[in-house]
Amino acid sequence: MSRVRRISIMMAILCIYIWAFAGLPIVELKETSLEVISAIFSGLFHPDWGYVYDPGGEDLLRGLLDTLAIALLGTFIAAILCVPFSFMASKNIVKSKATVGISKFILSFIRVFPDIVLALLFIKAVGPGAFAGVLALGIGAVGMLGKLISESVESVDLNAKEALTATGANPIKTFMFAVVPQVLPNFFSFILYRFEVNVRAATVLGIIGAGGIGTPLIFALSVRDWERVGVILLGIILMVTLIDLISGKIRARFT
């Protein structure tokens, strides 16, 4: 029985693979492919160092700083916006099933949109630029943060709440002393994690015109200025790695 089952599962998986690979167009290298690839690599190894800092106009450092600012501001907005949602979506805090259901629905509704789609919408709404990027990341992160934090709220130990009630604390004080201290470390940890994600997302947002380092990147790509592409990529790699490293170190201290 189990042997028949195992064989039939293996057959099914094999069929799916064959079907998937059959659907692939034949991989075909253009004549220029090799040339372009070698140009990109030579650009990466011979970056345009002059672009790193240019007191007169746009340069790499300013672009990266813009990106960082978009990510930081977006995360900050999300951190504030997600708080009411995450508590309203926790069924151990809010007794009304309707409120919990609606809040959970709003959070998953926001999560449906990829950051890029949100950014496109906001570019239409507020015009291209960093502000659209900030709004996209700020709203987009609420979905994920709200879900994670509400799950953390739902797992708190409510015995302490009983003890606080018994000391004569009103519901607000009880909440501040029995629930908040249990959620706070997770809260900061999630916010930092989302900041890491946002930094990566913000580098891409510029490509569609929502501010940050993506804009000079797409310009350099379109004029095949590989040395500049190289230096921008190096800058992004360095910034993202550094931020992941620092934020990871800080997050480790929270748990």
Interface segment toward other proteins; rule CB under 8 A; list 18-26, 41-49, 126-134, 176-184: 176-184
Return d(Cα 97, Cα 88) in angstroms, integer: 10
Distance of CA 130 to the CA centre of its chain: 16
- Tell me which of 5, 168, 223, 253 binds other proteins, using CB under 8 A: 168
Contact 110, 143 (CB under 8 A): yes
Return d(Cα 221, Cα 105) in angstroms, integer: 40
- Cα–Cα distances in angstroms (integers) from residue 156 to residues 49, 92, 109, 119, 235, in the given order: 52, 9, 25, 35, 41
Closer residue to other proteins (CB): 44 or 92: 92
Query: Nearest distance from residue 188's CB to other proteins, in Å?
Result: 12
- Tell me which of 173, 224, 237, 246 binds other proteins, using CB under 8 A: 173
Closer residue to other proteins (CB): 77 or 169: 169
* DSSP letters for 131-186: HHHHHHHHHHHHHHHHHHHHHHHHTS-THHHHHHHHTT--HHHHIIIIIHHHHHHH
Contact 205, 214 (CB under 8 A): yes
Query: Nearest distance from residue 157's CB to other proteins, in Å?
Result: 7
Instruction: Round the CA-based radius of gyration of the chain to a whole number and report it.
Output: 24
Per rule CB under 8 A, is residue 116 in the interface with other proteins?
Answer: no
Per rule CB under 8 A, is residue 160 in the interface with other proteins?
Answer: yes
Query: Nearest distance from residue 205's CB to other proteins, in Å?
Result: 36
Per rule CB under 8 A, is residue 154 in the interface with other proteins?
Answer: no
Closer residue to other proteins (CB): 2 or 170: 170
- Tell me which of 20, 29, 166, 252 binds other proteins, using CB under 8 A: 166
Q: Which of residues 212-251 bind other proteins (CB under 8 A)?
A: none
Per rule CB under 8 A, is residue 2 in the interface with other proteins?
Answer: no
- Tell me which of 62, 69, 81, 185 binds other proteins, using CB under 8 A: 185
CB-based burial label for 3 (10 Å; 0-12, 13-18, 19+): exposed
- Tell me which of 159, 222, 252, 253 binds other proteins, using CB under 8 A: 159
The helix (run of H) or strand (run of E) holding residue 61 is helix 60-88
Interface segment toward other proteins; rule CB under 8 A; list 62-70, 182-190, 193-201, 206-214: 182-190
Residue 127: DSSP 8-state: -
What residue ranges bind other proteins (CB under 8 A)?
92, 157-170, 172-173, 176-178, 181-182, 184-185
